[in-house]
Amino acid sequence: MAWLVVTAVLLVILLANQVVGVLERAAANQYPQSVVLELIFLGALQNLSVLLPVGLLLGVVLAFGRLYHDSEMAAAFACGAGPAHVYAPVALLAVLVTAGLAWLTLGAAPAATARAMGLRSEALRAGQFAPIASGKFRSFGGGNAVVYAQDVNPDGTLANVFVERNRGPLVEVALASRARHAVTPDGMTHILTLYNGERFEGVPGSPEFRIVRFAEHTVPVQVPASVDVVRTLEALPTRTLLASRVPAERAELHWRLAMPLMCVVLALVAVPLARLRPRQGRYARVWLAVLIYLLYSNLISVGKVWIARGTAPQWLGLWWTHVAVVLLALLVIAAPGVTNRLRYRVRAA
């Protein structure tokens, strides 16, 4: 139960930050309201693959920390409970969580990433083709151009139009009594044709500027293509990664395989890690568990980068990170006992 609570709290914290980002992008790119909730749900599904291992680790440490603090573990050991009785329920829980995490990392999370990318692309495209509404500012070209129309006539023309466009340090401001808005078939270029107006050009803060009066003026606005290489890689199906020999794709495959195994390692390490000495607080080992997780996740991230760059061989994968963390955890867990025995022997001698 503790790992569910910890995972839920961490998920809420991440979702709170993610909702702000989704709403910000939705407002900037005119996303339809129907896709916002689905994007939030898909983001939560992607984040679960990262949260489940740390949630399981902290959940086991907190649960056993309470048992040790309340002397319930001491009572259980006095009644004949052995390591098998302690590790069996944790191993069962770890197997169930690992199976769910494997389903997430190998299938559900890539599909959720692909779906989220498709939704954002469709929403952005729908926003690009949407007509300009009266009384509202509309941004194009990644914010490089802003258009405002006081009114929209029945024939689709815009009345009393304001256009601001940035070209490096140069700022252009155009005012027109009438304008037409068109979009190229690919949706990547917006064409604003202004009639009977003035254009002001200059660099903000400079005394030099130019005023041009025109009867007709065309303002093309190029929409930048959004290419997210990282998200595209995360959206690839696992079967595609298995057949690939590209270093970056192999690194992504090894990362997906490492996350479920990471869950098993952390669950088994958490049991001896949660053991408390007399008069220690129930949360005394939480900081150490967090430290081990951060080190573990950073090692996996570094190993993934090494495989993508060709620094580490692909056959080695990320298996070495699990061995390194197990050895480090054993050292941390066994060090106090070894130190105490050596100190006792020195005093006895």
* pLDDT score, position 27: 65
Binning pLDDT at 50, 70 and 90, where does residue 242 land?
Answer: confident
Region 193-214: mean pLDDT is 87
* CA dihedral of residues 39, 41, 43, 48 (deg, nearest 10): -170
β-pairing, 170-183 vs 158-167, is: antiparallel
Render pLDDT for 62-81 as a digit per residue (tens, 0 to 9): 888 888 777 777 787 778 77
Q: CA 290 to CA 68: how far, in whole Å?
A: 19
Structure tokens at 113: 């990433």
Region 118-127: mean pLDDT is 69
Beta bridge partners of 137: 148
Containing 162, the helix (H) or strand (E) segment is strand 158-167
Q: CA 309 to CA 316: how far, in whole Å?
A: 14
Binning pLDDT at 50, 70 and 90, where does residue 103 land?
Answer: very high
* Average pLDDT score over the chain: 80
Q: CA 125 to CA 332: how far, in whole Å?
A: 54
Overall pTM > 0.85:
no
Q: E-assigned strands of the chain? A: 137-140, 145-152, 158-167, 170-183, 189-202, 209-222
Q: CA 142 to CA 147: how far, in whole Å?
A: 13
* pLDDT score, position 267: 85
* pLDDT score, position 141: 56
Query: How many Cβ atoms from other residues are within 10 Å of residue 261's Cβ?
Result: 17
Render pLDDT for 29-66 as a digit per residue (tens, 0 to 9): 666 666 777 787 888 888 888 888 888 888 888 888 88
Q: CA 92 to CA 271: how far, in whole Å?
A: 13
Asked if pLDDT for residue 338 goes beyond 60, the answer is: no
Region 149-175: mean pLDDT is 85
Asked if pLDDT for residue 144 goes beyond 80, the answer is: no
* pLDDT score, position 339: 57
Asked if pLDDT for residue 213 goes beyond 60, the answer is: yes
Containing 244, the helix (H) or strand (E) segment is none
- What's the distance, Cα to Cα, between the start and end of the chain in Å? 49
Answer with the residue of higher pLDDT: 3 or 109.
109
Place of tokens 């197990």: 326
Spatial strand order in the sheet of 145-152: 137-140, 145-152, 158-167, 170-183, 189-202, 209-222
Region 306-331: mean pLDDT is 85
Q: CA 225 to CA 246: how far, in whole Å?
A: 24
* pLDDT score, position 220: 82
Q: Max Cα separation, the chain?
A: 103
Region 4-31: mean pLDDT is 74
Weakest-pLDDT range from 108-112, 248-252, 340-344:
340-344
Asked if pLDDT for residue 248 goes beyond 70, the answer is: yes
Q: CA 92 to CA 136: how far, in whole Å?
A: 57
Asked if pLDDT for residue 229 goes beyond 50, the answer is: no
